[in-house]
């Protein structure tokens, strides 16, 4: 709202600007220096009103008309606010809009009935601040201060506001709602008490409270999307899209539009609708014309019936719209639905072979629907069916979100053109983070805006998987993705990779693990066997792959891990983005590739490669899976492949047998910790070992899923990947971790300290290394003593 709009006067309204030529202006501008009620009397001079507004700046300004009527009701002597208000509401009541000012009149009567002392000097300001605190449709404090500065520089701009316009229903409604304070102040005494601060202010109207609650809920939902690793990419884009979004968030009903035209002329009507030319007649002629129904009256246009369109968002889930464009599509849809100014319901549909209704109101639903993919190249058939069969007769306003390349597809363009009257907005996405908005208006498509998202910046810091709070409701205790020390590397593996100097393993449990090899060790006598091999950290779990065929690993431009799989028996090449879960494949039967070819990674691409054969088949990393014949221009590719195979072969002996099934956890008669038939004991000097337990267990822990609790309250959390977490009931004993393998020396670590086999020591760490003897007597021994005691 601009300053001119705030002070705007209206035809047949309960207040107006006037000029008193006897009173000079306060700023050199002498016109329009008086606020008045037409046909009744003055409210106040402009300088006085501006002083009042200065006092109200800190809490914002109420609607101007409401402020004037309250000031008028404070005056001593004769006041008539009921007549002007009833006249205005009657004049603007037509069609679907029927206004009634009786509640507002009742409230103004309370203001008039207030004792005089509460309406004088500084008390008048306190009264206004009390009445209009948290007022509906108020101007913010910062905006109000800006308006005052503009007025101080250009007071003559009020001349534009003094030119009366026709008031739309929304204008009158703002003033009436701001004066409808009977619920907030049911009695005159309640106003006095509120001024004195003796009572708490009643809450805002339900409508406003609900609006704010919705906005907060939406903000929490966006935060949940960002904190969830599987929806982080979508959630991190939404606020950035909001900042640039310029499409209407709410369809404005024609019934809310200002109407000022003339629809008819008649010889019957009210006096205020009579043509001004009739009043120019002589009195006798005028009375005669009125008596004989010869006087002419005008009939203003009636606002049309309310016509709210149903808003539907269609998301293209075809193969063309896979990957980053699909992430942008879902982010755009959620940005439209959850926009703070969006108050109308939206229906969302995934468009593949057909239009399938989906919900994006919960994080779990977003995760589920992100994985939807229609087995079609483009969705023209589903789009045409949607308009012709499912929504053929309804008034709808459709958003269609698709890939930018589809604007070049003849089938898509044909369906879009045929339904341009109902397909209001066309939104296109690209792989590099560009979103374009097009609007259909009067049969033509117009580009209205482009948003370019810095994907690398927004996706630079994905959230880590969080360790959630324990519960005893029968659910499994959640585990962290990793611990301060490494997991034992499993013996059973699907594939091993060397990528940019780092070693990775795809385990039989469908985890992507990262490990390393070294010759550095700090205790040759105890840990000589482990001077080369090390444990692993988990990068991803529950990877959706079949353990057949050949595999290669790489990263795309967004630094997402991409696993490529080649199944010679099925002649199928597929790619899986481990960060987003996006999958695509291609059947290569028609290429007649020999079974002797192997899948490799080389120089930013995957290849099907056969030693000494110049014919390669290149597989792209970015986008959907695509296989193309490629002449071997890289004479070093054979040497590189042989070198990688040699390096990866070094991992063959790195695996250890892991204990992943846990039972019978307790303390035996020799005060050693026991689990799954094994006891942890220190046999050799400065080592921790695992041996078969041959002794009676004196104290058992009670099992609840993967959590075991001793009678004293101490807990042990088991992790089938090969780790135990110890939490003592004695809070002086820090939480610590021990790996579980059937062979070799163990390790013990906390969040800050480490002791034991270097095999479990991370390559990059800030742990303070101690001897195992120190760690045993500082952590494990006190834990056992606490249980026994």
Cα gap 127→131, rounded to integer Å = 6
pLDDT at position 721 is: 94
Tokens, residue 21:
């030529």
User: What percent of the chain lies above the pLDDT cut of 90?
Assistant: 23
Cα gap 378→365, rounded to integer Å = 24
Tokens, residue 118:
């509460």
Three-class DSSP category at 247 = coil
Burial class (CB in 10 A: 0-12, 13-18, 19+), 379: buried
At residue 341's C-alpha, the angle toward residues 337 and 344, to 5°, is 55
pLDDT at position 470 is: 42
pLDDT tens column, 44-85: 888 888 888 888 888 888 998 889 998 888 887 777 888 888
Q: Provide CATH code, domain 214-251+311-458.
A: 3.40.50
Residue 304 — very low, low, confident or very high, per pLDDT cuts 50/70/90?
very low
Residue 223 — very low, low, confident or very high, per pLDDT cuts 50/70/90?
confident
Cα gap 778→734, rounded to integer Å = 9
Cα gap 105→73, rounded to integer Å = 10
Q: Would the pLDDT of 203 be above 60?
A: no
Most confident of 325-334, 411-420, 436-445, 483-492: 483-492
pLDDT tens column, 553-603: 999 999 999 999 999 989 999 999 999 999 999 999 888 888 889 999 998
Q: Would the pLDDT of 25 be above 70?
A: no
Mean pLDDT in residue range 759-782: 91
pLDDT tens column, 390-441: 665 556 778 889 988 888 888 888 888 888 877 888 899 988 888 988 888 7
User: What percent of the chain lies above the pLDDT cut of 70?
Assistant: 86
DSSP state string for 659-702: -------EEETTS-EEETTEEEE--STT--EEEE--S-EEEEPE
Q: Which of 357-361, 499-503, 633-637, 750-754 has the lowest mean pLDDT?
A: 633-637
Higher pLDDT, 11 or 29: 11
Whether the model pTM is above 0.85: no
Listed by start position, the domains of the chain span 3-202, 214-251+311-458, 262-300, 493-653, 666-788
pLDDT tens column, 114-150: 888 888 877 888 888 888 887 877 888 888 888 888 8
Tokens, residue 242:
């909001």
């Amino acid at each position: 709202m601009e300053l001119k709009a705030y002070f705007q006067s209206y035809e047949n309204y309960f207040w107006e600007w006037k000029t008193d030529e006897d009173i000079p202006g306060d700023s050199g501008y002498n016109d329009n220096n008086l606020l008045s009620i037409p046909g009744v009397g003055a409210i106040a001079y402009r300088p006085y009103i501006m002083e009042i507004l200065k006092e109200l700046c800190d809490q914002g300004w109420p609607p101007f008309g409401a402020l004037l009527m309250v000031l008028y009701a404070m005056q001593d002597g004769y006041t008539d606010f009921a007549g002007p208000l009833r006249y205005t509401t009657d004049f603007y009541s037509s069609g679907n809009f029927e206004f009634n000012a009786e509640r507002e009149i009742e409230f103004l009567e309370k203001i008039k009935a207030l004792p005089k002392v509460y309406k004088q000097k500084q008390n008048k300001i306190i009264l206004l601040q009390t009445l209009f605190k948290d007022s509906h449709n108020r101007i913010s404090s910062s905006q109000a201060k800006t308006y005052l500065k503009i007025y101080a520089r250009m007071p003559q701009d009020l001349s534009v506001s003094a030119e009366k316009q026709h008031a739309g229903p929304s204008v009158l409604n703002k003033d009436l709602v701001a004066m409808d304070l009977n619920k907030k102040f049911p009695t005159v005494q309640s106003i006095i008490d509120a001024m004195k601060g003796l009572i708490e202010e009643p809450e805002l109207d339900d409508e406003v409270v609900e609006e704010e609650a919705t906005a907060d809920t939406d903000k929490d939902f966006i935060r949940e999307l960002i904190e969830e690793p599987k929806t982080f990419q979508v959630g991190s884009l939404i606020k950035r899209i909001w900042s640039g979004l310029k499409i209407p968030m709410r369809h404005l009903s024609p019934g809310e539009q200002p109407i000022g035209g003339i629809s008819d002329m008649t010889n019957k009507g009210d006096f205020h609708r009579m043509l001004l030319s009739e009043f120019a007649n002589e009195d006798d002629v005028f009375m005669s014309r009125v008596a004989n129904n010869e006087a002419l009256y005008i009939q203003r246009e009636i606002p049309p019936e309310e016509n709210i369109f149903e808003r539907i968002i269609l998301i293209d889930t075809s193969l063309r719209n896979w990957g980053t464009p699909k992430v942008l599509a879902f982010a755009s849809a959620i940005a439209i639905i959850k926009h703070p100014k969006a108050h109308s319901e939206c229906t969302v549909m995934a468009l593949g072979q057909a239009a399938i209704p989906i919900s994006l109101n919960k994080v779990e639903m977003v995760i589920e629907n992100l994985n939807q993919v229609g087995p079609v190249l483009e969705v023209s058939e589903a789009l045409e069916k949607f308009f012709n069969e499912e929504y053929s007769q309804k008034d709808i306003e459709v958003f269609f979100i698709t890939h930018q390349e589809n604007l070049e597809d003849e089938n898509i363009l044909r369906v879009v053109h045929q339904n341009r009257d109902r397909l209001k907005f066309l939104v296109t996405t690209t792989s590099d983070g560009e979103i374009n908005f097009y609007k259909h208006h009067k049969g033509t498509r117009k580009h209205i805006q482009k948003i370019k998202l810095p994907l690398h910046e927004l996706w630079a810091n994905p959230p880590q998987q969080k360790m959630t709070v324990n519960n005893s409701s029968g659910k499994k205790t959640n585990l962290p993705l990793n611990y301060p020390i490494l997991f034992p590397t499993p013996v059973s593996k699907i594939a091993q990779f060397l990528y940019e100097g780092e070693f990775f393993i795809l385990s039989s449990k469908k985890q992507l693990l990262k490990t390393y090899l070294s010759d550095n060790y700090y205790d040759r006598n105890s840990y000589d066997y482990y001077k080369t091999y090390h444990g692993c950290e988990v990068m991803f779990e529950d990877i959706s792959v079949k353990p057949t065929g050949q595999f290669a690993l790489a990263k795309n431009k967004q630094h997402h891990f991409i696993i490529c799989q080649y199944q010679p028996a099925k002649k199928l090449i597929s790619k899986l983005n481990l960060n987003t879960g996006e999958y695509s494949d291609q059947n290569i039967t028609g290429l007649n590739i020999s079974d002797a070819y192997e899948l490799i990674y080389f120089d930013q691409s995957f290849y099907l490669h056969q030693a000494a054969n110049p014919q390669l088949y290149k597989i792209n990393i970015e986008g959907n899976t695509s296989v193309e014949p490629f002449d071997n221009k890289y004479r070093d590719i054979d040497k590189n492949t042989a070198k990688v195979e040699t390096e990866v072969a070094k991992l063959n002996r790195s695996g250890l047998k892991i204990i992943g099934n846990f039972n019978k956890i307790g303390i035996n008669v020799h005060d050693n910790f026991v689990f799954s038939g094994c006891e942890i004991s220190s046999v050799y000097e400065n080592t921790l070992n695992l041996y078969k337990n041959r002794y009676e267990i004196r104290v058992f822990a009670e099992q609840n899923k993967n959590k075991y609790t001793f009678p004293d309250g101490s807990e042990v959390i088991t992790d089938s990947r090969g780790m135990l977490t110890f939490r003592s009931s004695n809070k002086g004993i820090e939480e610590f971790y021990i790996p579980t393998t059937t062979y070799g020396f163990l390790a013990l670590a906390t969040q800050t300290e480490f002791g034991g086999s270097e095999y479990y020591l991370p390559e990059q760490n800030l742990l303070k290394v101690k001897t195992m003897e120190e760690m045993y007597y500082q952590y494990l021994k006190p834990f056992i003593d606490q249980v026994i005691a």
